[in-house]
């Protein structure tokens, strides 16, 4: 559901996280669907110039790994 809310796989460049936020760089930020993202039990959504930060709290590392696994991206820590 997170990937769908971000405009699908083709729209996602990079997925990282900080302490409480899933940070996603996107190809096209106009494809963000906040209604779908709000259904993922996030605490908030912050749009940036080239992406979005979705606030999930302390569970965000597990969420990042799951999203990257679905996208077949590297799960290394940054």
Residues acting as catalytic residues? 18
* ∠ CA 4-5-7, rounded to 5°: 70
Mark residue 72 as left, alpha or beta (left: phi above 0; alpha: psi -120 to 50; beta: remaining): left
Q: What gap in Å lies between CA 47 and CA 29, rounded to an integer? A: 8
**SS3 for 50?**
coil
């Amino acid at each position: 559901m997170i990937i769908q809310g971000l405009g699908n796989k083709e729209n996602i460049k990079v997925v990282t996280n900080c302490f409480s936020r899933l940070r996603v760089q996107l190809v096209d930020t106009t494809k963000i669907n906040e209604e779908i993202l709000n259904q993922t039990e996030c605490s908030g959504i912050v749009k940036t110039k080239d992406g979005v930060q979705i606030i999930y709290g302390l569970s965000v590392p597990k969420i990042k790994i799951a999203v990257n696994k679905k996208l077949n991206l590297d799960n290394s820590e940054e």
